[in-house]
Structure 1
Amino acid sequence: MSLLTRRRLLHRAALSATAAGAARAGLTGAGAAGTAASTAALVAGCGATPDPDGDPAPHGPLRFPPGFRWGAATSAYQIEGAAKEDGRGASVWDTFSHTPGRTRNGDTGDAAADHYHRYAEDLDLMRDLGLHSYRFSISWSRIQADGSGRPNQRGLDFYRRLVDGLHERGIAPMATLFHWDLPQTLQDAGGWENRDTAARFAEYADIVFRALGDRVPDWLTINEPKTVVQNGYIWGHHAPGRQDPDAAYLVAHHLQLAHGLAVRALRATGAKTRIGPALNLHPCYPADDTPEASAATRLYDGYENRLYLDSILKGAYPQDVLADLGPDSRLARGIRDGDLKIISSPVDLVAVQYYTPIYVTGQGDTVRRWPTSEASWQQLYPEGMYDILTRVTRDYGTIPLTITENGLPCPDTLAADGTVDDTARIGFLRDHFAAAHRAIRDGVPLESYHVWSLLDNFEWAEGYDQRWGLVYVDYPTQRRVLKRSAHWYRTVIRDNGL
């Protein structure tokens, strides 16, 4: 990796930290016209005055295709709790969150939303909302405490009960194998910098596939490998908390290799079920009309999107990214013969997670064009949903797509009458649903949409300060309360549209 590239990557980390500080100080980007402006106006108040019919900014009517599936998403460490029960081992997030100064207020996922004990109640909530699909993740350290060896039967039994409960309520399970909670024992042996971790992941995947088999119709391999790379190894504000760009892109390669090995492991079982990656994709736009901004945006897109899409769907890493990293980078030196063939093992679907656009200057820096949510990194631009979906279809063909995360944090509070009025979230979701609808109309094979998230939960480094859920969780009592957005979403599901 060149010194220039290393400096650029670390500079991005500094810009991210500056943006986060500005957001906590109450600063936001400039306003704009169209749906982004309407969403921003709602979010600015996070409880703005609704329209006379009770919902903000109606589009209607928009009807989705017959058979379109509506769902919600969660992840294991963020909701399960029971961190030391029934044979579960420690993960990198247990270690990270228990390290002073790593998370807001010193929060941990030890209890989270206590889903491990309250899963039946949560399944009933899903049924009452009318969900067609539930996307969740499996805790690797609950299946193999140390990341290898004999499986923990109590862990497998929990996920069997969860999957059976979903089927009993007419909800399709969509399971993610890895959502950032690497067993700590594997991290101690080098983590994702160690190529052997990809092999251990394939063994873990095989255990889970053989335990749950066709009971899970859709499998996702690695959730947001880019977030592990950037947040965990460049910026350092996620586990394992490193700031080492040289290591980061070797980690990217091993995560991609683990994905491909898991795809092959599923095929080897003979299960008649589908599998694909879950990628957070950020549409990248030039900040101005200069040739320099256009060129910088192309490279930025390589790091944000093509590094993962091209390797999985085209069997090659983008040449501009490889050239920028340099022939002596750990990524370049870590690629072995046959790796890209494994990584590009044919998949059945691609899960897209959309939260924010990125605007790039001619110097390769980023600027904010739209107001942000409580999450300082999230610019509010629903049109980005349309752009990224159509881009994937245009550049990679008509592979089935599913949205597995899209949502908004709000400072939700429980009112005296026992309700939670999150009008802003309704407006946000309505605008993004409309953008997805337009993408379908223009030929995108989008099958389903999973709102992030079902429950308020442990939001990684932000602890419990940010609430993303359709369902309010009163953490001291673990009481669940449907927010206004949940009642609205139930109507969307019933009507299959807006």
Structure 2
Amino acid sequence: MKYAFPQDFWWGSASSAPQSEGESLSFGKSATIWDEWFRLQPERFNQQVGPQQTSDFYRCWRDDIALLKRLNHNSFRTSISWARLIPQGRGEVNPQAVAFYNQVIDEMLAQGITPFINLFHFDMPLAMQQQGGWESRAVVQAYAEFADVCFRLFGDRVKHWFTFNEPIVPVEGGYLYDFHYPNVVDFSRAATVAYHTMLAHALAVRNYRARGQDGEIGIILNLTPSYPRSANPADVQAANIADLMFNRSFLDPALRGSYPQELVALLRQHDQLPPCQAEDAALLAQGVVDLLGINYYQPRRIQCRDSLVNPDSPFMPEWFFSHYAMPGRKMNPYRGWEIYEKGIYDILTNLRENYGNPRCFISENGMGVEDERRFEQNGQIQDDYRIDFIREHLQWVHRGISEGSRCLGYHMWTFIDNWSWSNAYKNRYGFVQLDLASQQRTIKKSGEWFAATAAANGFEEQR
């Protein structure tokens, strides 16, 4: 069977400024929260590898874009670093950053690669974090100004903009579960961060549309389907609450312009609602996106709690559910994540049936593997496991499209093995192998497979 995809399907991959550019304190760029956390606690980063070097896209951009072309990308997502473009968060624009991003955008277009540009990928400028980060409405306004500067400088050529990548992650990591700076564990503050993020999103969308630049603006959400352990009402309700907190808290405002009333009622019941202002509802309603990016890696398996909550423990989402390890599940042992390909189809089906079938694309999907040099033969990593992973997810994407879902493309995470937060280079995700010491790039077997798939706009089912 031939899996043929629609004409003009977006074939590509995704990266981000903080994970690929390097030069994190050079060429006018100021520190982000990652530079600061690494300065304070380098031991929390795998092998104490910090954000300074990464895959050196700042210096290697021309060669890397040529590699994108070799991999038959027709589109590629990266981000603009707020701390590089406006080092103090507000005010003066860094001309070196403008020159750099202009070169990158122009070269991508010259190579026939459509730039997809995201504005925030977990990389809060330290100057803004010191003013409260997403807890501060002043920082919300500063972000909207940064976004508008980007639209003014680059919007003549960039026609696909995204306000945020995975906005739930700074909430979870920075304010609930202690895996991002500022390492706060406080649900009330987390709720404020989440709410203010969506206000910032809506302001950026409003600013973009006011410019009339003939493009589109969206958001990228990591959607993690919540599957109940059983049909027991207690399990079903537990999965519903997990879905409300981790998916619909961003999906509903992005696609409907408002929050689910069930979530609002739950947070009000537990006195966890963020402070709201009278004009917020009208602003949020203006933030409905033109295009939704879907990052999918794993499902969320949920069961009801079978033990009482410690009343002295911090209020947390897990007061309402427990995680469930489904027997027989397929795992990526290196990342500790379940591989469940059908989840990507379930997301598309949910969007089609419950959200008006929005224009969307798979903006990330990927498999991180440790010590890939084990699989090197004749100088090339034979990552057949990654080819299988992509193929099997694409089969479910194809089914969703065949049933009417408006999925316009597939971007893999990621192009070149890149720096990944506190995991640094522990797990590798790229189509292209990076030798950190020499910065040499070598295309893996999966890169060749993807290039052939993109060229053919599909693939034959293996028998």
Letter of the 1:137 counterpart: S
Q: How does 1:379-390 map to 2 (within 5 A)?
A: 379-390=338-349
What's the CA shift string for 1:89-129, capped at 9, x where partnerless? 00011112333232122211100001100000100000111
Cα distance in structure 2, aligned partners of 1:97 and 1:422: 31
Matching of residue 83 in structure 1 with residue 24 in structure 2: yes
More relative contact order in 1 or in 2 (CA 8 Å, sep 6+)?
1
Matching of residue 392 in structure 1 with residue 351 in structure 2: yes
Letter of the 1:446 counterpart: C
Q: How does 1:325-404 map to 2 (within 5 A)?
A: 325-326=267-268, 329=271, 332-345=273-286, 346-363=288-305, 364-369=321-326, 370-374=329-333, 376-404=335-363
**Partner of 1:106 in structure 2?**
48
**Partner of 1:443 in structure 2?**
404
Letter of the 1:75 counterpart: S
Please tell me whether the aligned partners of residues 93 and 240 of structure 1 are also in contact (alpha carbons under 8 angstroms).
no
Deviation at 1:269, TM superposition (A): 1.7
- SS of 1:278's equivalent in the other structure is strand
Selected match of 2:387 from 426, 435, 446: 426
Please tell me whether the aligned partners of residues 368 and 379 of structure 1 are also in contact (alpha carbons under 8 angstroms).
no
Letter of the 2:323 counterpart: T
**Partner of 1:169 in structure 2?**
111
Letter of the 1:210 counterpart: R
What's the CA shift string for 1:424-459, capped at 9, x where partnerless? 101000000111000000110011111000010111
**Partner of 2:455 in structure 1?**
494
Letter of the 2:198 counterpart: Q
- SS of 1:136's equivalent in the other structure is strand
Please tell me whether the aligned partners of residues 418 and 428 of structure 2 are also in contact (alpha carbons under 8 angstroms).
yes
* Closer/same/farther in 2, CA of residues 446 and 416 from structure 1, 3 Å limit: closer
- SS of 1:457's equivalent in the other structure is coil
**Partner of 1:467 in structure 2?**
428
Selected match of 2:33 from 89, 92, 112: 92
Letter of the 1:74 counterpart: S
Deviation at 1:347, TM superposition (A): 2.0
Deviation at 1:403, TM superposition (A): 1.1
Q: Percent identity?
A: 35
Please tell me whether the aligned partners of residues 55 and 434 of structure 2 are also in contact (alpha carbons under 8 angstroms).
yes
Letter of the 1:472 counterpart: Q
- SS of 1:326's equivalent in the other structure is helix
Please tell me whether the aligned partners of residues 102 and 237 of structure 1 are also in contact (alpha carbons under 8 angstroms).
no
Please tell me whether the aligned partners of residues 258 and 284 of structure 2 are also in contact (alpha carbons under 8 angstroms).
no
Cα distance in structure 1, aligned partners of 2:140 and 2:336: 30
Q: How does 1:46-61 map to 2 (within 5 A)?
A: 60-61=1-2
Matching of residue 255 in structure 1 with residue 214 in structure 2: no
Matching of residue 316 in structure 1 with residue 258 in structure 2: yes
Q: How does 1:216-235 map to 2 (within 5 A)?
A: 216-235=158-177
What's the CA shift string for 1:325-370, capped at 9, x where partnerless? 226745x242212213222323211111111111110221011222
Selected match of 1:183 from 125, 129, 153: 125
Please tell me whether the aligned partners of residues 299 and 338 of structure 2 are also in contact (alpha carbons under 8 angstroms).
yes
Cα distance in structure 1, aligned partners of 2:228 and 2:254: 26
User: What is the TM-score when the length of structure 2 is the normalising length?
Assistant: 0.92
Selected match of 1:149 from 91, 102, 118: 91
Cα distance in structure 2, aligned partners of 1:343 and 1:166: 33
* Closer/same/farther in 2, CA of residues 242 and 333 from structure 1, 3 Å limit: closer
Letter of the 1:371 counterpart: K
Please tell me whether the aligned partners of residues 356 and 377 of structure 1 are also in contact (alpha carbons under 8 angstroms).
no
Deviation at 1:214, TM superposition (A): 2.7
Letter of the 2:325 counterpart: R
**Partner of 1:479 in structure 2?**
440
Cα distance in structure 2, aligned partners of 1:398 and 1:452: 24
Selected match of 1:306 from 248, 262, 268: 248
Please tell me whether the aligned partners of residues 195 and 274 of structure 2 are also in contact (alpha carbons under 8 angstroms).
no
More strand by share: 2
Cα distance in structure 2, aligned partners of 1:277 and 1:85: 29
* Closer/same/farther in 2, CA of residues 115 and 199 from structure 1, 3 Å limit: same
Cα distance in structure 2, aligned partners of 1:318 and 1:375: 35
User: What is the TM-score when the length of structure 1 is the normalising length?
Assistant: 0.86
Cα distance in structure 2, aligned partners of 1:333 and 1:490: 47
CA RMSD of aligned residues (A): 1.4
Letter of the 2:347 counterpart: I
* Closer/same/farther in 2, CA of residues 221 and 377 from structure 1, 3 Å limit: farther
Runs of 4+ in structure 1 off by over 6 angstroms are none
Cα distance in structure 2, aligned partners of 1:107 and 1:329: 40
* Closer/same/farther in 2, CA of residues 327 and 199 from structure 1, 3 Å limit: farther
- SS of 2:203's equivalent in the other structure is helix
Please tell me whether the aligned partners of residues 297 and 366 of structure 2 are also in contact (alpha carbons under 8 angstroms).
yes
Please tell me whether the aligned partners of residues 148 and 208 of structure 2 are also in contact (alpha carbons under 8 angstroms).
yes
Cα distance in structure 2, aligned partners of 1:359 and 1:328: 24
- SS of 1:122's equivalent in the other structure is helix
**Partner of 1:72 in structure 2?**
13
Q: Which runs of 5+ in 1 are unaligned?
A: 1-59
Please tell me whether the aligned partners of residues 311 and 340 of structure 1 are also in contact (alpha carbons under 8 angstroms).
no
Deviation at 1:289, TM superposition (A): 2.2
Deviation at 1:374, TM superposition (A): 4.2
**Partner of 1:132 in structure 2?**
74
- SS of 2:8's equivalent in the other structure is coil
Please tell me whether the aligned partners of residues 96 and 241 of structure 1 are also in contact (alpha carbons under 8 angstroms).
no
- The total of aligned residue pairs comes to 438
- SS of 2:37's equivalent in the other structure is helix
